[in-house]
A = this chain, B = another copy of it.
């Protein structure tokens, strides 16, 4: 059967509010460095009041991945919930202008579009503070099954276990995808997110609801509750068809039952802001996978896309990745 999309991604639709901050600010405000901190309205108001001058950019992990795939020349679609408000308009504009098919019905009324206040410390690390807003309303009604059926891979972010009904949407999408012989994929998103939903994530993998799993080293170790990287990698190899573990400047490792591929990180000039690194890695990898590339090449394209986004402020590359791909001979 022909496909309409290479990759459909599903996630929390978020606008990022990005400012610089010192490490002692994070300590003072009780923000867990490098993590995604969930916040409520009061906390959001407090943090915005003490935040420095900011810029705004559309974000959301899986949305960044979809934008990255489109930027690479892939055919991408996205499901995610915004409200019918100015930030929702910005989010919808940006993802469509990136070339991604996006038609999720916006929420009419309260709560407003989600936003994440992101503090970037001098070392380039980002610490996120996310108010989920309209994302809490994403549910099975938002799954356009025709789009799932027509996508080679459907990919979602583990963060979707935070809002109440998104997991039902994901289970429906997985069923539809597999009924049409498609692959289903997830990212573990964040080590604390893994800690919140460890058993459910392992069940998704072991029940073969999920075929392809993306994790970084901290998430992998959190999943298997071990400090032993190699042991965790062996467990991952058994629990999914393809496992991809990113290790920042140490590159990444791709494992299947039979294969192991270690691919180095792409060189960078200056680390500016790590926001979007994992999202863009997944974009590159899934673009490669759905366009007939072998696993090491998928990882190389992922590494290139991640390298590009961490050398700028904001989670989506401003340069078209397709051009960079060609320059790099990938």
Contact B55 A97 (CB under 8 A): no
Q: How far is the CA of A95 from the CA of B54 in the complex (A)?
A: 10
Q: Does A218 make an interface contact (CB < 8 A)?
A: no
In whole angstroms, what is the CA distance A94 to B53 when docked? 4
Binary flags per residue of A50-78, CB closer than 8 Å to B gives 1, else 0: 01111111100000000100000000000
Interface string of A94-110 (1 = CB under 8 A from B): 11011000000000000
Mark A15-43 against chain B: 1 for CB-CB distance below 8 A, else 0.
00001100000000000000000000000
Q: How many residues of A contact B (CB 8 A)?
A: 25
- A318 contact from B58, B97, B313, Cβ within 8 A: B313
Q: A98 — nearest CB in chain B belongs to which residue?
A: B53
A325 at interface (Cβ–Cβ under 8 A)?
no
Mark the stretch among A84-92, A164-172, A279-287 that contacts chain B.
A84-92
Residues in B whose Cβ lies below 8 Å from that of A314: 55
Cβ contacts under 8 Å, A237 to chain B? none
> Is the CB of A93 closer than 8 A to any CB of chain B?
yes
Chain B nearest CB, measured from A15 CB (Å):
9
